[in-house]
Structure 1
Amino acid sequence: MLKLYKRIKRTNQNGLTLIEVMAAVVILSIAVLSFTMLFSKNVEFSHREENRNAALTVARTVIEELKPVLPTTGNANIFGQQVLLASLRDNNAATAPAVIYYPSAADRQYRITITDLVIPASQSFQVQDKLKPANTFQFNVRDYFSHIQVQVDGLTSTGESYTLQSYIERNEARP
């Protein structure tokens, strides 16, 4: 009878103990939690990049809307809002920036600040005449271009700010 008991006891040890099951559950839980955190960070990063791309697209659109109208004497209508361009043409640091909102003045998701940055009088370029190399011409950059800065501030939960700068020709094209 004792031999039968020892044989039964030995063959019964093929199963898992409660401690082994608990250790497997803990390891599996740690792995699942790690993947969950990784996924949530990935979604957060994707959302932040989506907001950044939207803000930069708005800034590029404003710059592109300003390019054809800055050389003229008129004003710009950007996102259904009037922008006075006289302040963007004078190259004066005391000029107040223009402020508009995107997608509209009523639905404010982004505040857009358009500023004319001062171009120093010393910033110029020299052009040499190809036919007569002895002739050179000096041009002051501020006589021909405006240095425009468009800052887009998010008014939603992120509240991030993005800035885009561009030189825009402000003199009308010559024939």
Structure 2
Amino acid sequence: MRNQKGLTLIEVMGSIVLLGIAVLGITYILQQSSIDTKSNEKTDDAVVAARNVMEEIKNKLKSTATSTTVYGQAIPLQQLRDRSSSIIYYPDASNRRYELQIQSHATTLGAVPLTNSVVSDLDSIFRRVTVTCIDLSTQKEFELEAFVEFK
């Protein structure tokens, strides 16, 4: 047998191919991670926008105010009290990234006895409010729902 010193051309080429496959795999994983991170950031923006609208509605719907303003746009509260809907845009009406659809529904909570002689009709106190946030570039939707006191 001869004394072998160094690598043959086949061994070098095989090493380069294996290294190339490993680099491509790592690059693909990093790319997918970046795409997922951007998607999660958009979802977070939608959640924050929907929560801000819901919190403003929760704070103002039980007052006597006829409207409130969120992101520089008016939300008619009387329409929500009357089980109607409204649409606003985030971050504002001229720069539309998300459409926020606000819908008020009747509840089916029924009545609960408070004492032996007093019964409270929860349907006359609460509205089920749904805020649907739609990403206008991808048409992805996020929905937030809550029972809101309106009287």
Larger radius of gyration: 1
- Matched to 1:15, the amino acid is G
Q: 2:24 pairs with 17, 20, 33, which one?
A: 33
Secondary structure of the corresponding residue to residue 10 of structure 1: coil
Counterpart in the other structure of 1:150: 131
Shift of 1:125: 3.9
Q: Post-superposition shift, 1:84?
A: 1.1
Select the residue among 122, 140, 147 that pairs with 1:160.
140
- Taking the aligned partners of 2:29 and 2:96, their CA distance within structure 1 comes to 33
Within-5 A mapping of 1:60-139 = 60-71=51-62, 72-91=64-83, 95=84, 97-120=85-108, 123-129=109-115, 135-139=116-120
The count of aligned residue pairs is: 150
> What residue is the counterpart of 2:149 in the other structure?
169
Q: What TM-score do the two structures reach when normalised by structure 1?
A: 0.80
Q: What do you get for the CA RMSD once the two structures are aligned? A: 1.6
Q: Show structure 1 runs of 4+ deviating over 6 A.
A: none
Residues 124, 138 of structure 1: 8 Å contact kept: no
Superposed CA offset, 1:124-173 (max 9, x none): 242343xxxxx1533222200111000001113x33110000111111xx
**Which residue number corresponds to residue 141 of structure 1?**
122
In structure 1, C-alpha distance between the alignment counterparts of 2:141 and 2:66, rounded to whole Å: 29
Query: Which is further off, 20-29 or 76-85?
Result: 76-85
Give the alignment's TM-score, normalised by structure 2.
0.92
| Paired position in structure 2 for 1:22 | 13
1:45 correspondence with 2:31: no
Identity of aligned residues (%): 32
| Secondary structure class of the residue paired with 1:153 | strand
2:49 maps to which residue? Answer: 58
